A = this chain, B = another copy of it.
Amino acid sequence: MASSTASCGQMHKITDGSVHTPLGFKATGLHTKVKRKRKDLGAIVCDVPASAAAVYTLNQIQAAPLDVTRESIAEEGTLRAVVVNSGQANAVMGKVGVADAYEMRDRTAQAFGLEPLDVAIASTGTIGERLQMEKILPGIEALHPEANPASANAFAESILTTDTCTKETCYATEINGKTVHIGAVAKGSGMIHPNMATMLSFVTTDAAIAPEHLQQALSEITDRTYNRITIDGDTSTNDMVLTLASGKAGNEPLHPEHPDWQPFIQALQCVAEEQSKQIARDGEGATKLVEVNVKGAPTDEDAGKIAKQIVGSDLLKTAVFGTDGNWGRIICAIGYSGVTINPETIDIAIGPHLTLSQSEPVNFSEEAVTAHLKQDEVFIDVELNIGDGSGKAWGCDLTYDYVRINAGYRT
């Protein structure tokens, strides 16, 4: 078994690219003093109505901004702007939270010269604290990208909570002879165990594509990317992935029967996978990215489920932190994943080192495995030998800092 990394095929990575790179988009962020020092309010705007698609958390407790954004997208399937605050999540605030969310949207529309239904909103931060509207509303007035140096990095910074770094990605690909860009910005880094959606991630593209086809593409790749990461097993109340397509690349509109549909899906998946890995790597307190690759499962879905169970095991995560090649915790997680396996035919490798073959322990070099576990990217490969399904999942180690951050920070 060999470790694997994401394959982005023919795609061209744009260094320093972000959500502003696709034609038609600007982004910005500023500091309203809700947070002590870091930027806390940001926006992405598109100079034309962009096709819009989103996936949301499946948590039954959903923050007010999600409903407001759903309403804006439902109207015509297009958006002109999204505004995001960090610090308070505007979740579980009852009627006052709903009113604040609508005011946030409506005041943005007013300030940007748009209709309310052109605007999406998102919030992240502490549950059960009221938005500091006395700071956010003046912030919105000052937020117009014409009034600010447009900066995708400022936007990426403005949406962070316990994250230690911004998470930006951009790739270019060819779609029927036109260059199409896909850029994205995300934030983590706790309460991360997405289910049909995830944390916050904003994806822009200049591809031409109708809203319903953009939604189809987003839903398809979400199950293989954002939904395959876990930091702590807690599915947030505020998770959302929002995708905007300006159409400015000038390609023929994409749809599932278009010959370039699959290349577009792959491009979108490539960006989403890179965002997912950025989030996992910056999990609260994390020192390492862990990628688990499961093969030989009954189905791809089963493989993904097992991979996510392994990468979500607190015991595996502490073993990775302690650089302990403890494959017993890996097979234990395989056994309780809920997928029917054959207990007698399992192979497990840590990095390139086989530790279990056909469910029998293999003599391996503890030093070599420890050396692999000391790297900042750890690969675990599992071969179940019962089918053709495969799938990956990403997570991080569980460290003293995770406890420190969460014994103090109120999310």
Contacts and interface: CB of A to CB of B under 8 A. Distances in A.
A233 B331 contact: no
Nearest to A327: B128
B326 A410 contact: yes
Contact of A313 (B93, B234, B313, B407): B234
A145 interface: no
Interface stretch (A29-37, A53-61, A172-180, A249-257): A53-61
A364 to B, nearest CB: 11
Interface in A326-381: 326-329, 331-336, 340-341, 343, 356, 359-361
A324 B404 CA distance: 12
Nearest to A332: B237
A351 B80 CA distance: 47
Contact of A361 (B92, B334, B399): B92
A165 interface: no
Contacts of A360: 93-95
A406 B315 contact: yes
Interface string A396-407: 001110111111
Contacts of A237: 331-332, 335
A191 interface: yes
Contacts of A385: none
A170 B240 CA distance: 52
A305 to B, nearest CB: 13
A232 interface: yes
B315 A314 contact: no
A361 B93 contact: yes
B334 A61 contact: yes
Contacts of A322: 406-408
Contacts of A404: 400
A233 B319 CA distance: 15
Interface residues of A, number: 62
A51 interface: no
Contact of A60 (B94, B126, B235, B341): B341
A411 interface: yes
Interface in A43-90: 58-62, 89
Given A128-B361, A341-B60, A232 B410 contact: no
Contact of A324 (B60, B331, B408): B408
A307 to B, nearest CB: 16
A190 interface: yes
A166 to B, nearest CB: 23
A389 B60 CA distance: 19
A343 B61 CA distance: 6
Given A58-B336, A190-B315, A235-B336, A359 B402 contact: no
B406 A319 contact: yes
Nearest to A316: B234
Given A60-B341, A328-B127, A329-B411, A234 B315 contact: yes
- Determine which residue in A60, A191, A312, A343 has the highest number of CB atoms from chain B within 10 A of its CB, and name it: A60
Nearest to A335: B61
A127 B324 contact: no
Interface of A: 58-62, 89, 91-95, 126-128, 190-191, 193, 195, 232-237, 312-315, 318-319, 321-322, 324, 326-329, 331-336, 340-341, 343, 356, 359-361, 398-400, 402-408, 410-411
